[in-house]
Amino acid sequence: MDEMKTQYAQVIVDVATMQTNQPYTYVIPPELAGQVEAGMRVVVGFGRGKRRVQGFVVAVSAENPLTSSAKLKPILEVQDLRPVLNQEALQMADWLARYTYAFKITCLQAMLPAAMKAAYTKTVSLTTSEVTPAVREMFAQKDELALAKLSPEQKKLLAPLSKQGKIEINYHVKDRAKSKLVLAIKRSLSETELQAAKTKLRKGAKKQAQLLDYLQTLPLDKEVFQANAQAKTGLGAAIFKAGAEKGWLKQSKVESYRNPYKQEVVKTEAKSLLPQQAQVVQAINQASDEGKAQTFLLQGITGSGKTEVYLHAISHVLAQGKQALLLVPEISLTPQMVSQVKARFGKEVAMLHSGLSDGEKYDEWRRIERGEAQVVVGARSAIFAPLPKLGLIIMDEEHEASYKQDDMPRYHARDVAIWRSEYHACPLILGSATPSLETRARAQKGVYGWLKLTHRANGKALPAVSLIDMKKEIMTAPVQDISQVLLAAIKQKLAQKEQVVLMLNRRGYSSFAMCRECGFVLKCPNCDISLTMHLDSHSMRCHYCGHEQGIPSVCPSCHSKRIGYYGTGTEKVETELKELLPTARILRMDVDTTRKKGAHEKILRQFGARKADILLGTQMIAKGLDFPNVTLVGVLNADTALELPDFRASERTFQLLTQVSGRAGRAQKQGEVLIQTFNPENYAIKLAQKQDYERYFRMEMAVRHRGGYPPYFYTIKITTSYRDEATAAKKIFQIAGQLKQVLSPTAQILGPSPRSVMRVNNRYYYQLVIKYKRESLLEDYLQHLLLISQKEERQGLRIVIDREPINFI
DNA sequence: AGCACGCCGACT
DNA sequence: GTCGGCGTGCTC
């Protein structure tokens, strides 16, 4: 046997603060030789102390790549038997870190289920018995005590001992990713042998005979869960154990997946396609057959049957032995959507969404990684699903803001999807009725392929959309959230036993308390935002930091009792509706009623079962719901989002109104949509009413061109924040000054300026936005800023770099 | 995060 | 003159 030469591993280390974004070299000790591969998680020592951290091996080499003869530390532990990240994932992490200005470690972690991130614990133990009785008492039960669980008194007691070296701190790195192991059994004898064993049994051994009978019904090499066998036979665990001892059967521990799908789904067959759908599927199939990394915009009006197109395209790649990835916005990952895909592809489907526990997510991830699932459906982070034979990526509702992650790594799933489509040489489909301007513009330029669905699958016309001018309403009737026209329409639908969806566009404002005498507005003590009234908890709450206090009856400023509540919240509208329509059954769906897990689904199920007449909610009811009995959709306040100082406000309003309009008349009945607005002349609202995306696109593109906004310019937002305003401001101005040195004259800097809600949780926020087309020096400057910003972070000054930010306010 | 190195105040 | 303050820098 030739001796194994010492090997070295390049490790990206999990040190949240002070990242160098560069791997560290570790020695692979002899006892771990041959066990360490790129893509595995390891535990290593880091720093001068005894600190242990998790790391990712990104490369293994036979030579020490370091020229300096620095003493290398060994890898202490290997956490995986096989790599958890393949070459694709490692390359993707490198790209993602650079592209989004993130640390590599956060990129690597983003690709894995949360359960695989290490849990760090620290413990204390005594190094000597020469301590006071009080201290000895503390360690009477256990040698090691968890540092986090010590009381302040206990800590005080131990503090002096640490200087004397009488105690030591131990660092533990724990892998939280635990597969659930359960007992399985397999019969180990042939039928004749079992029969023979049965004859040898003493009389009266009924249970054992029963077990032998059961074993005979099992196919020879089939492993079954013992729990299932116990349930089937009614026999206890002891009998199975005895059977194993007698050699009738073999017991083993097998990995069992936690099963998040409660109900069985009935398999459905593919529906036949309309000619237009068939053409689209044909184009996609051709690209996947040719192995082309082509991105397509699939622009299809609401109800045009995009989902059926997806399913056909997926089954085509599955037939080629390849895998498919379907991304949907978190909010539309409804049971309806899920069961549609499950019904078509059955056990081939894995699901990744926020409704699953960490353990369930880990199990689904394992199923994918082991090649047991060929189709993955999931929200944003599912774009990293480990599918080695990826043949098709689909992003439904590609314009949705939830595809952008708002903490590090600040990636947009679309960018990652394009990267993976190129890596796998497979097509990417971006589906939407209202594509983002960026995507639509690229389709026009020919960068993306452009597929269109212009007919509704059910042959019905688009619902009739009308605007209600609230300025006129106010002149003729007292101020209310629901106009006379809308009220009359609701009454009519209820009389016909049809259902109504009412949407409140809450973004930007909701009910706040103001003194009618002095104009005092009740604000959050920690944030620059007014408190919102919540009737259910009878309190005033801050939506930014969660601060909560009682509803004031006296003005804190002038002590007047004349406090009024202004604005519109779902609760207030609900109260108003109950007064206007005492017999109507109303379901409310907003952040408050959906906070509990599963509440979202429950409300929708109730509404689907016609247990309510009116579904009243915020944005979350606009997406992907499909209720055949809904014939009226009302939008109570179309324009609140328009006022926001964000160049995308108009685009969002248009998309939202178009989407919600599509909720009416999904099936046989003709739908009707009523939109209440104070700006009936605004082009976003007018064109949403006409359902004219193309004209909206042209008008908005002209606006963007004039203002120098995306898609004509790239944008990067930099935010600084600190607990005192001057420091945050000083830093952002310093960065702006440096940027001016770096940028060419064609680039622009917006700001610096305080963020519109400047103070949140007692931190002050300042920001600037860079608009540019091509800047050769910018990239290096920002990478540099990312690395040096960590030093400031330690002092509490936070710097955030966000490429192509979604929110500008 | 945590440890070492380094350069200024109040003390044996 | 020294002990120790915590600002600064580095961690394979």
List of long-range contacts for A690-698, beta carbons under 8 Å, 24+ apart: A690/A465, A691/A301, A691/A462, A691/A465, A691/A658, A691/A661, A693/A299, A693/A433, A693/A434, A693/A435, A693/A658, A696/A654, A697/A437, A697/A440
Cβ of residue A24 lies below 7 Å from strand C: yes
What pLDDT is stored for residue A757 in this prediction?
A: 82
Among residues A659, A682, A704, the one where a domain terminates is A704
Cβ pair A717, A805 in contact under 8 A: yes
Q: Strand C: which bases are under 7 Å from protein Cβ?
A: 9-12
Using the CA of A47, give the nucleotide whose C1' is nearest: C11
User: In Å, what is the separation between the CA of A111 and the C1' of C7?
Assistant: 38
Instruction: Provide mean pLDDT across the span A65-84.
Output: 86
As a whole number of angstroms, the longest Cα–Cα distance in chain A is 98
In a domain, A262, yes or no: no
Q: What is the CATH number of the domain that holds A78?
A: 3.40.1440.60
Confidence category of residue A510, pLDDT binned at 50, 70, 90 = low
User: In Å, what is the separation between the CA of A307 and the C1' of C2?
Assistant: 79
Cβ of residue A216 lies below 7 Å from strand C: no
Instruction: Provide mean pLDDT across the span A568-596.
Output: 81
Sign (positive or negative) of CA dihedral A37, A38, A43, A47: positive
User: Which parts of the protein come within 7 Å of strand B, by CB position?
Assistant: A 15, 17-18, 47-51, 122, 169, 794
In a domain, A719, yes or no: yes
Higher pLDDT, A354 or A658: A658
Q: How far apart are CA A283 and CA A320, in angstroms?
A: 16
Q: Strand B: which bases are under 7 Å from protein Cβ?
A: 1-4
The whole-chain average pLDDT of chain A stands at: 87
User: Which residue is it, tokens 């599509």?
Assistant: A662
Strand C contacts in A 31-70 (CB under 7 A)? 45-48, 66, 70
Q: Say which range, A160-164, A516-520, A561-565, A757-761, has the weakest mean pLDDT.
A: A160-164
Instruction: Provide mean pLDDT across the span A553-578.
Output: 81
Q: Strand runs (DSSP E) across A568-650, as ranges?
A: 586-589, 614-617, 630-635
User: In Å, what is the separation between the CA of A731 and the C1' of C8?
Assistant: 20
Instruction: Provide mean pLDDT across the span A481-498.
Output: 87
Give the total number of structural domains in chain A: 7
Cβ of residue A29 lies below 7 Å from strand C: no
Instruction: Provide mean pLDDT across the span A613-618.
Output: 88
Whether A94 and A186 share a structural domain: no
| DSSP letter assigned to residue A774 | -
Check pLDDT > 80 for residue A243.
yes
In a domain, A440, yes or no: yes
Instruction: Provide mean pLDDT across the span A341-357.
Output: 87
Check pLDDT > 90 for residue A463.
no
User: Which residue is it, tokens 């939008």?
Assistant: A635
Residue type at A35?
Q
Check pLDDT > 60 for residue A363.
yes
Q: Strand runs (DSSP E) across A670-735, as ranges?
A: 672-677, 714-722
In a domain, A709, yes or no: no
Among residues A655, A678, A704, the one where a domain terminates is A704
User: Which residue is it, tokens 């050769």?
Assistant: A776
What pLDDT is stored for residue A428 in this prediction?
A: 98
Whether A617 and A651 share a structural domain: yes
Q: How far apart are CA A130 and CA A497, in angstroms?
A: 82
DSSP code per residue over A475-493:
HHS---SS-HHHHHHHHHH
Q: Which residue's C-alpha is at the least distance from the C1' of C9?
A: A791
Q: How far apart are CA A525 and CA A761, in angstroms?
A: 9
What pLDDT is stored for residue A316 in this prediction?
A: 96
Would the pTM of this model clear 0.85, i.e. be above it? yes
Check pLDDT > 60 for residue A624.
no
Q: List binding-site positions of A.
A: 515, 518, 524, 527, 542, 545, 555, 558
Check pLDDT > 80 for residue A478.
no
Strand, coil or helix: what is A385? coil
State which H helix or E strand residue A657 sits in: helix A649-661
Q: How far apart are CA A204 and CA A58, in angstroms?
A: 63
Q: List binding-site positions of A for Zn(2+).
A: 515, 518, 524, 527, 542, 545, 555, 558
Whether A287 and A388 share a structural domain: yes
Cβ pair A288, A442 in contact under 8 A: no
Whether A76 and A223 share a structural domain: no
What distances in angstroms separate CA A599 from CA A220, A334, A455, A506, A613, one per listed residue?
A: 45, 12, 34, 20, 18
In a domain, A579, yes or no: yes
What pLDDT is stored for residue A477 in this prediction?
A: 65
Neighbours of A140 (CB within 10 A): 7
Instruction: Provide mean pLDDT across the span A494-510.
Output: 78
pLDDT tens-digit profile of A680-705? 888 999 999 998 999 999 999 999 99
Which residue in A774, A772, A728, A722 sits closest to A750, CA to CA?
Answer: A772
Among residues A671, A704, A737, the one where a domain terminates is A704
Confidence category of residue A787, pLDDT binned at 50, 70, 90 = confident
The radius of gyration computed from the CA coordinates of chain A, to the nearest angstrom, equals: 31
What pLDDT is stored for residue A40 in this prediction?
A: 96
> Length of chain A in residues, anyone?
809
Percent of chain A with pLDDT over 70: 94
Which residue in A183, A173, A175, A10 sits closest to A81, CA to CA?
Answer: A175
In a domain, A268, yes or no: no
Cβ pair A54, A16 in contact under 8 A: no
Whether A186 and A170 share a structural domain: no
Phi, psi at residue A621, to the nearest 5°? -90, -5
Using the CA of A795, give the nucleotide whose C1' is nearest: C7
Tokens of A789: 């910003």
In a domain, A263, yes or no: no
Q: What is the CATH number of the domain that holds A318?
A: 3.40.50.300
Whether A313 and A444 share a structural domain: yes
Q: Which residues make beta-bridge pairs with A256?
A: A180
Instruction: Provide mean pLDDT across the span A475-495.
Output: 82
What pLDDT is stored for residue A508 in this prediction?
A: 42
Domain coverage including residue A730: 714-803
| DSSP letter assigned to residue A114 | G
User: In Å, what is the separation between the CA of A779 and the C1' of C11?
Assistant: 27
Q: How far apart are CA A45 and CA A258, in angstroms?
A: 34
Whether A123 and A19 share a structural domain: no
User: In Å, what is the separation between the CA of A168 and the C1' of B10?
Assistant: 32
User: In Å, what is the separation between the CA of A175 and the C1' of B5?
Assistant: 35
Confidence category of residue A1, pLDDT binned at 50, 70, 90 = very low
Parallel/antiparallel/unpaired status of strands A295-300 and A349-352:
unpaired
Whether A610 and A740 share a structural domain: no
Instruction: Provide mean pLDDT across the span A68-92.
Output: 91
Whether A56 and A196 share a structural domain: no
Whether A579 and A672 share a structural domain: yes
Using the CA of A71, give the nucleotide whose C1' is nearest: C12
Whether A609 and A624 share a structural domain: yes
In a domain, A267, yes or no: no
Q: How far apart are CA A425 and CA A783, in angstroms?
A: 29
Whether A378 and A486 share a structural domain: no
Q: How far apart are CA A697 and CA A687, in angstroms?
A: 10
Instruction: Provide mean pLDDT across the span A295-300.
Output: 97
Q: How far apart are CA A381 and CA A363, in angstroms?
A: 15
Tokens of A723: 């607990």
